[in-house]
Amino acid sequence: MSKQSTPLASGWTLHLADGGSIPATVPGSSHIDLLAAGLIEDPYAGRNELDVAWVGRADWRYDTVLPNVPEGCEQTDLVFEGLDTVATVTLDGVELGRTRNMHRSYRFDVTGLARGGTPLSVFLTSAYTEAEALRERLGPRPNAYPVPFNYIRKMACSFGWDWGPTLVTAGMWRPVRVESWNTARLASVRPLVTVADGVGRVEAHLAVERTEPGEARPLLVTLEVDGVLATTRVPAGSTSSTAEVQVPDPALWWPRGYGDQPLYTCRVVLADAGTGAELDVWERRIGFRSVRLDQNEDAHGTAFTITVNGTPVFARGVNWIPDDALPARVTPDRYRHRLRQAAEAGVNLVRVWGGGIYEDDAFYDACDELGLLAWQDFLFACATYPEEQPLRGEVEAEARENVVRLMPHPSLVLWNGNNENLWGFRDWQWEDELAGDSWGEGYYLGLLPRIVAELDPTRPYYAGSPWSGSWDHHPNDPAHGTSHFWEVWNRRDYTDYLKDVPRFAAEFGWQAPPAYATLRQALPDEDLAPDSPGVLHHQKAEDGNGKLNRGLAQHFSAPATFDDWHYLTQVNQARAIATGVAHWRSHWPVCAGTVVWQLNDCWPVTSWAAIDGAGRLKPLYHELRRLYADRLLTFQTREGARVLAVDNQSPEPWAGNANVRRLQVDGTALAEETIAFTVPPRSVATFPVTTEIKDRHRELLVADAGELRDIALDCEDHEFAYPPAEMTLVPAPAADGFTLAVTAGTLVRDLLLQADRLAPSAQADTGLMTLLPGETRTLTVTGVSLSDLTPGALRAALFTVNET
């Protein structure tokens, strides 16, 4: 009889401190259950986060009874795919085991105990209790935040971050099941997938667990890929085996924009060699591709270039955080939707950040299908991590499990040791404070690379981000390896991005508030202002609003109203990221990637995200679509002189003419030049611009090549003589909404329709756009009909720099 699995997804109750109980959801958490029962208010609304802080400090108990399990099986296991986090599991009052790691699964042998109606309990101790006790025992370690998340293997940002709420979860956050089986089962399958000389090779390394009666039985393993089969005999008593197939001329898997994403079913069947009976099956989708990390030294320093199938890739990336502060709520459909949004913005790489989780397989499945390269951090972020037991054993166990779990995915191209910890040791006074205590270096430079080399030699490992490749260079040296750029935003204007040409910009970002409707839904009764209580509560960054305002003051006059502040901070965010991406992208192949902080949010908050916590697109998202398109036209500077950068990351040559005009603010053409260009595939060329602005307060440069455009001023916006915006608006009904044709009577700078002000469900297909006098652009709005709009609503939802 094959292995049988019985989900334990219903019939659970959560017990309360007063002795009562409420229905519970599994997978889920105590916050989710308390919300469903109406016992707490939405922690994302108002300042409710503070009112539910007690939930994370409390201990909890979940109860259910086992369903009927198959009879006649030699072994029965109780399997928890994810326990969050410090748990004691009992069955009929018998303790099965204790856990202390959210990032791994647990399996308990319940043979002879598992019968229908048997009571099952999971006791969950507050993560604070565990972490604080371990800190007391091991001694203090430096941390970027004042909570001991570095003493427990749990999603670090549960304890709060500079973009996230403090919601310390507890529960069974991934599925629970009972497995019944005979003779043997596949404990793990580790497929090494390689391709060389036109032949795809799959070498499947198997770990087998046997029952006591199954010890004496020989087994058969069949590996099948694309109709090619290999059968291997596993001798009696053996608990490991290897099977290999070779697939001739496989179609290669490519990142999006470089080719297709063919996926092949890889199937492993374990059978009894004597009877031929099928015992267990493992099935995943794989892709044939090679990946290498180019770290060669050259005249510019040390490269960091991801190469797929021998082709260097410019990484158009985004950083990913957990999409919900209550991660059990993230469904496969939600993963797919969010990642499709990334792909539609031109993204080809998603970095899973080290303060979150190893995401569900549904995340990586979507990356496989969409051609999104996945960079996976091991889960260490912004702190020193003790290397003593029990943490060291937990770190090794979770790393081994997740490397094996995720390695079938062709989208996964890089294992990264940590986020900012090597940098922090050198620059954040950690070295002196530690006074020789362990802090994680042994993980990043020892344990983790050994595990990856042993289990997954098909992929590169890198010790951290930022990291220069060795202690011979500063960890955040832009000339070597990966770099993070946080002095910009924290202390400097975004124009300072122009001072560096990094080998790989792995983190940089600029804040802006979420969409207006997102703020209004989170703060329904508040008189919104930049410093109103609720708005400030939904700003978690240290002096976040101060940095926003100082950033605005560099470029704009002080906003007179909240609406102006809200709009201008979003403009500033888009311009900041455009400055960095366009500059660094123009230096390809010296700079081999930009990974914007960040794609998504986990709740409604002012943050660096392009998609806010309610899933609404900020202007930055639309700007990323321009910046991450295959072809980009921008004004840049080389050796003090203005040039036009023609950036062609497409697979075809790009030939054409760029028209550069010097215009007065009223649209009058004062000078013009044509730049003929031919740029090979995956290349950038720069061309001198001879046309110069004479009156920096009233003139601008405009470069056009086909549908691409860039605009340059020689002064800040608050110094430029913008005219009052004149626009003619012509709306027309359309499917699911309407179109809006906007004709500019004057120069209209950074026009934005905030569609969510028309209706919370409304979306526009266009972000910031600049129109010259006489030009017309047509936007499409969905989620609201013209008949639902009040007179003047459209004009009130339109914002432009001219009017702030």
Confidence of residue 440 (pLDDT cuts 50, 70, 90): very high
- Is 727-803 assigned to CATH 2.60.40? yes
Catalytic residue among 224, 369, 387, 420: 420
For 31-58, write each residue's pLDDT tens digit. 999 999 999 999 999 999 999 999 999 9
- Note the pTM of the prediction, 2 decimals: 0.97
What is the C-alpha to C-alpha distance for residues 95 and 100, in angstroms, rounded to an integer? 15
CA atoms within 13 A on the CB side of 771: 24
For 166-192, write each residue's pLDDT tens digit. 999 999 999 999 999 999 999 999 999
Q: What is the pLDDT of residue 792?
A: 93
What is the C-alpha to C-alpha distance for residues 350 and 332, in angstroms, rounded to an integer? 17
Superfamily of domain 4-179: Galactose-binding domain-like (2.60.120.260)
What is the C-alpha to C-alpha distance for residues 517 and 524, in angstroms, rounded to an integer? 10
- C-alpha distances (whole Å) from 617 to each of 272, 642, 782 are 54, 33, 13
Closest CA to 682 of 708, 707, 652, 705: 652
For 305-320, write each residue's pLDDT tens digit. 999 999 999 999 999 9
For 350-405, write each residue's pLDDT tens digit. 999 999 999 999 999 999 999 999 999 999 999 999 999 999 999 999 999 999 99
For 235-286, write each residue's pLDDT tens digit. 999 999 999 999 999 999 999 999 999 999 999 999 999 999 999 999 999 9
* Residue spans of alpha helices (H) in 251-351: 332-344
Q: Is residue 1 over pLDDT 80?
A: no
Give the chain's mean pLDDT: 97
The CATH number of the structural domain formed by 303-629 is 3.20.20.80
Common-topology check for domains 4-179 and 303-629:
no
Q: What is the pLDDT of residue 601?
A: 98
Q: What is the pLDDT of residue 611?
A: 98
Pick the CATH number of 633-719 from 3.50.50.60, 1.10.3720.10, 3.40.47.10, 2.60.40.10: 2.60.40.10
Q: Is residue 72 over pLDDT 90?
A: no
Q: What is the pLDDT of residue 11?
A: 96
For 712-763, write each residue's pLDDT tens digit. 999 999 999 999 999 999 999 999 999 999 999 999 999 999 999 999 999 9
Q: What is the pLDDT of residue 98?
A: 98
Judge whether 420 counts as a catalytic residue: yes
CATH architecture of 183-286: Sandwich (2.60)
Give the residue extent of every domain in the chain. 4-179, 183-286, 303-629, 633-719, 727-803
H, E, C per residue of 6-50: EECCCCCEEECCCCCEEECCCCCCHHHHHHHCCCCCCCCCCCHHH
The answer to whether residues 742 and 729 touch, using CB atoms and an 8 Å cutoff, is yes
DSSP class of 467 = B
- C-alpha distances (whole Å) from 557 to each of 530, 562, 649, 721 are 16, 14, 37, 13
Peptide bond just before 390 cis, omega within 30 deg: yes
* pLDDT > 90 fraction of the chain, expressed in percent and rounded: 99
Average pLDDT over residues 444-456: 98
What is the C-alpha to C-alpha distance for residues 643 and 650, in angstroms, rounded to an integer? 21
Residue 616: what residue type?
R
Q: What is the pLDDT of residue 56?
A: 98
What is the C-alpha to C-alpha distance for residues 758 and 785, in angstroms, rounded to an integer? 10
